[in-house]
Amino acid sequence: MWRALFLALGISSIILGAECLAVEKAILKSKEQAIGADYEDAPKGREITPPDWAPWSLMSGGVVVVLYSFTLPKRVKD
C-alpha cells in the first residue's frame, strides 16, 4: 500500500512539474464566472504564475519519490 501511495505522489509531482514547465500562467475562474453569469463587473479570477524553480524542483522531487517507492520492500504474506 505504501509503495502505491509513494508511486502515485511521485508521478503526480512529475506531471505537475511538466505542466508548470509548459504553461506561462494559469487563470482560475471565480464563482460568478463558473456559474456562467455574464456580468461586466464580475471579478476576473485569480492569476497564478509558477516561479522559475518550480518545474524543475517538482520534477526532480517526483523522480526521487518514484525511485524511493521502488526500493520499498514488497509486503510479505505470512
Segment 2-21, tens digit of pLDDT: 889 999 999 999 999 999 99
**pTM metric for this prediction:** 0.74
Nearest to 15 by CA among 61, 70, 48: 61
Task: Name residue, grid cell 497564478.
Answer: 48
* Residues 59, 25 contacting (CB under 8 angstroms): no
State pLDDT tens for residues 8-62.
999 999 999 999 999 999 888 766 665 655 556 556 778 889 999 999 999 999 9
CA dist 41 → 14, 26, 28, 33, 37 (Å): 38, 21, 16, 11, 10
Query: What grid cell was written down for 69?
Result: 517507492
